[in-house]
Structure 1
Amino acid sequence: MRDVVVVGGGVLGMAVALAAADAGLRVTLVSPGCRTEGAASAAAGAMLGVLGEHTVEDTDPADLEFRFASAGLWPGWLAALAEHTPSPVVLRHGTVVIANLDHPGDQDNLDAIERAAGDLGLRAQRLDPRHVPGLRPAPRHAPVAALACPDEGWVDADALLDALDSASVRHPRITTVSDTVRRVTVSPDGSRVTGVRLGAGGELPAAQVVLAAGAATGALLDGLTPPTLPAVLPAKGVSMLLDVPVAEQPPMVIRTPNRDFACGLHLVPRAARGLYLGATNRPGPAGGATTDEHLSLLHGLLHQFRTDLRTTTVRETRWGHRPATGDGKPLLGPVGPEGLHLATGTYRNGILMAPAVAAIVTAGLLGEPCPVPHPYAPSRPRLQPDADRLTHLLATGADHMTSVFLDPGGTLPFDRQGQLAATLAALVNLALHPKPDAQTDDLREALRARLNDRPTLEGVCDLFNILKP
C-alpha cells in the first residue's frame, strides 16, 4: 500500500506529490497527463499575481497576504525543483498594469494595487502610459494610467510543467499512473479513505488521498464530505500563443487590472515559444474555445495593446477549466473521511500558490503544524450572504455584466452604461432579495406606479430613469 495517492497532474498536483515524496512519503501520482485537454495549468499565463490580482473589491487582507507569502516561497521552491530535473525554470520579474477608458473600474483598481503595494512593502511606480515598452494601442483605446510593479513575478508555464513532469518521473519515491480516477474508496463505515478506483478499472490502495484534480475535484467529492462544503465549479479560460519574434516581445508582463469577472487582458513574453495572450473567463460546463472568446481576446489585443500584431500568426489556442469555489476561496487541507486532503479551488492563482499549497498539504499528510497560515480550511461553513452583501454583490456584478455586454468594441452615450448596470442590479435584486423590506417595497411600488401611468412600451423603456446609479 502506498502512503498517499495524489489525484491530478497539473502544477498543484505535481507540486504536492514532489513535496510529499521529498518528506519521505511513498507517492502515487495519478493523471492522464499535465497537458490533457481542458487542464488549467497548460492554458495559464503563469503570472505570479500578488498585486495584479488585487482589486478595489478585495477587502479581505488574508487573500493578499497569502498570495504575498506564496510568492516569497518561489525562489527556494524552484531551487529544490532543480535538484530533481535538468529542465530549468527561470523566475522573472516585472509587470506593468495599465488602465484605459474601455473599462471604467480600471483606474480604481490601479489605485487599489498601489495601496496594496505600499502595505506589503513592494515597489510600485506610476509611469507615463505613453512610455510603456512594447505597448502600441489604437488611439481611442490608449491607457490613461500605468503602474510599474517591478517585484511582480512570472514564469513560463510550459517550462514549469516540463520541469515538474520530469521531476515527478525521476523521483525515486513517486510512481506515476497515466489514468483518471473514477472515485475515492472508503472503509465500510465511511470513516476513512482506503484509496481510489481508476477510470480504466482496478483500485489503488493508499492510507491517504489528495484531490488536486482542479475543476474535476467536485465530482470526486460527491457523497464523501459534508454538504456545507463550498462547491468546486469550472471556470473556463481561453488564451493564445502568438508568433511574435523575441526581439518584438515586451520585456515584462503587460496587463490590465482584473475586469469582467476575469483577470483582464495580459501579454506574457515566452521567448522562442511566442507571446502569450490571455485570458477570458466563462463559468459553466466543459467545452473548448468559442468564436466569441477568440474575438474578445483579439479585439482587446489589437486595440488596447498592439495594433502592429494585426497580421500576426496565431500559433495555438489553449483553454482550461480553472477550479473556482462557491465562495471564491481555495480548499486546502484535510476534510471529510480520515485521510482525505484537498488542494483545489485556487481559481486564477493555482500556479502562484503552488509552493505554499504543497507545503500546507504535505504538513497535513504528516500530521504536522501548518507551515503557512491561511483561512482556507475546507471545513469552513458555506457562505450565506446577508441582504447587504447580496445587494453589493449584485451591484458590482451588474457593472461587470454590462461591460461584458458591450465588449468587444461597444460603447453607450452619456452615462447609459451606469444606468444599464443599475437597472440590471435593481431588477435582479428585486427577484432574489431574501425578504421584503422598506427599500425593495418602495422600489417595487415605484415601478408599478410608472407602468400604471404608462402601460406602454415607452413606459417600460422609461424605467431606467427610476433605477438610477
Structure 2
Amino acid sequence: MHHPDLCIAGAGIIGLSLALELHDRGYPVTVFDQGAPLAESSTAAAGMLAAHDPDNPPELLPLASLSLSLYSNFLDRIHTLSGIRVPFQTHATLQSVPPGTCTAESELTREDLAHLLPALTPSDHRFLLLDEQSVDPRQLAPALLAAVRATNIDLQPHTRVLSTYSIDDAVEITTPNGTIHTAQFINCAGAWAAATSRLSNISVAPRKGQMFSVVLPPSLPLHLVIRTPGIYIVPRTAGPATGRAIIGATVEDIGFDKTVYPANIDRLRTLAATLLPGIANASQLEAWSGLRPATSDGLPLLGVLPTQPNHFIATGHYRNGILLAPATARVMAEFILGEEPSVDLSPFSPARASTQVASP
C-alpha cells in the first residue's frame, strides 16, 4: 500500500473539510471511513449555524465565530471544485431565552413577533432575533463529496481503521486492506472516535437525536428558524426541499441505537405546534435519527493525543458539526503543520479528557 503524508479516519463533514484544507496546502491525504462518506450525523443534522445559541458553552464562541467568518469562502471553494452551489437557507433565527437574560431593548415585543411571523404563538416564551444562517446538510454533503472527488485526495469508503500505533516519527495504521505508515494520523470518526483509536480515555459518546420533516402548508410560509430549549423548526427555502421544515430533536443517551420511535416524533410535533399551530396537521415526509459525538463538557476535542505523538483528534462537535467544520479544518491544519492556530485551542485539548467520562 502507498504511504501518504496524512491519514484521516472519518469521512464526515469534519474529516472531509480537513482533507480539503490539507490538500489545498499541498499535502497528500488519505481518508478512511467504515461506511459511506457523510452518511451519519453530517446528513442527519438540521444545518443551523448556531454560533450564538445560548446553550453553547461560552468557550466555544471564538471557534464558532471564526467558522462563521469562513463559511462563505468554504461554500465558494466547494462550488469551485464541484460545480454545485450550496445556498444559505435562512438568515435569521427567533431564539427563545429565559426571563432576565436579555435587555428590554433586545427582547422582541408581542407586536414585533406578530409583525415578523403572524402565525407564531409565543405562549410564555421570550424571543431574540439572531443574525444567524442555516444550510441544508443534504445539499452540502453531495457538494462536499464531489469537491473531494475532484481532487487527488484518496477517499477509501467502507474501510475501517482497525488499529493505530505510534512508532518513532510515524503512525502505523491497520485496515482490512493491510497496514500502512503515515507521518500523521487524525481521528475524525465522530461518535466512533474511541473505537477508532482503541483508546478508552477518549470521552466521546453518541447522543441520539430523532427528528422529522413536514411539508409546510401554504398558510404557513416560514423564512427563519425558530428555536427554544425543547424544539427547533428549520425551514428549507432554496433547492429541491423548498417548502419543507425540519423539526427536532430529541437528546438521548442510549448508545448507538438509531431506532425512530413514533411516540418521540409525536411529542416533537406537539411541541412545535405550540409555537406554530399549523404544524399540527402538516404532512410528514420522513423521520430519522442521528448520533451526535458528545463530550462531557460540550466542547470538541482538537489537538494531539497526550500519549501518542503524531496522532491527532478532531471530534466531539456535538450539535455544531455543520457550523464548526470550516474553522476546525483551518485550526487543525495549522496545528498539525506546526503553525500558530487562528484561535486558542487550549479549551479543546484532548489532555483534559483523559479522566472524564461523557455524560448526557
TM-score tier by shorter-chain length is 0.7 to 0.9
CA drift at 1:12: 0.7
Structure 1: tracts of 5 or more residues without a match = 99-105, 116-122, 259-263, 386-392, 398-469
Equivalent residue for 1:155? 135
Contact 1:134 1:250 (8 Å CA) reproduced: no
Contact 2:260 2:289 (8 Å CA) reproduced: yes
Alignment of 1:321-400 (within 5 A): 321-335=291-305, 336-374=307-345, 375-380=347-352, 382=354
CA drift at 1:376: 0.6
Alignment of 1:273-288 (within 5 A): 273=241, 274-287=244-257, 288=259
- Given residue 340 of structure 1, which amino acid in structure 2 is its aligned partner? H
Change (3 A) 1:84 1:127: farther
Question: Is residue 76 of structure 2 the alignment partner of residue 96 of structure 1?
Answer: no
Residue 184 of structure 2 is aligned with which of 193, 208, 223? 208
Contact 1:94 1:148 (8 Å CA) reproduced: yes
Equivalent residue for 2:42? 41
Residue 198 of structure 2 is aligned with which of 206, 212, 222? 222
CA drift at 1:202: 2.5
Deviations 1:166-195 (A, max 9, x none): 1111113x01111142423325xx555534
- Given residue 188 of structure 2, which amino acid in structure 1 is its aligned partner? A
1: distance between equivalents of 2:19 and 2:319?
A: 21
Contact 1:359 1:372 (8 Å CA) reproduced: no
Residue identity (%): 27
Q: Determine which structure has more spread, i.e. the larger CA radius of gyration.
A: 1
Deviations 1:218-253 (A, max 9, x none): 112334xxx6x5511110111112123688441111
Residue 61 of structure 2 is aligned with which of 60, 64, 67? 64
Alignment of 1:82-121 (within 5 A): 82-91=79-88, 92-98=90-96, 106-108=97-99, 111-112=100-101, 114=102
- Given residue 7 of structure 2, which amino acid in structure 1 is its aligned partner? V
The structure with the greater share of residues assigned to helix is 1
Contact 2:233 2:248 (8 Å CA) reproduced: yes
2: distance between equivalents of 1:46 and 1:276?
A: 9
What secondary structure sits across from 2:322 in the alignment? Answer: helix
Which of the pair has the greater relative contact order for Cα pairs under 8 Å at 6+ separation?
A: 2
2: distance between equivalents of 1:166 and 1:285?
A: 31
Equivalent residue for 2:21? 19
Change (3 A) 1:171 1:247: farther
- Given residue 34 of structure 1, which amino acid in structure 2 is its aligned partner? P
1: distance between equivalents of 2:355 and 2:182?
A: 33
Change (3 A) 1:192 1:282: farther
Equivalent residue for 1:239? 211
- Given residue 5 of structure 1, which amino acid in structure 2 is its aligned partner? C
CA drift at 1:310: 2.8
Contact 2:270 2:280 (8 Å CA) reproduced: no
Structure 2: tracts of 5 or more residues without a match = none
Aligned length: 346
2: distance between equivalents of 1:247 and 1:88?
A: 29
Change (3 A) 1:77 1:236: same
- Given residue 154 of structure 1, which amino acid in structure 2 is its aligned partner? S
CA drift at 1:143: 4.3
- Given residue 42 of structure 1, which amino acid in structure 2 is its aligned partner? T
Deviations 1:134-164 (A, max 9, x none): 6444xxx724422111x21211111111211
Contact 1:127 1:147 (8 Å CA) reproduced: no
Contact 2:203 2:353 (8 Å CA) reproduced: no
What secondary structure sits across from 2:82 in the alignment? Answer: coil
Residue 175 of structure 1 is aligned with which of 127, 146, 154? 154
CA drift at 1:333: 1.7
CA drift at 1:107: 2.0
- Given residue 294 of structure 1, which amino acid in structure 2 is its aligned partner? I
CA drift at 1:62: 2.4
- Given residue 351 of structure 1, which amino acid in structure 2 is its aligned partner? I
Deviations 1:243-283 (A, max 9, x none): 23688441111111x3xxxxx31111113412111111101
Residue 108 of structure 2 is aligned with which of 111, 126, 130? 126
Change (3 A) 1:40 1:34: same
2: distance between equivalents of 1:348 and 1:270?
A: 19
TM-score by length of 2: 0.86
RMSD: 2.8
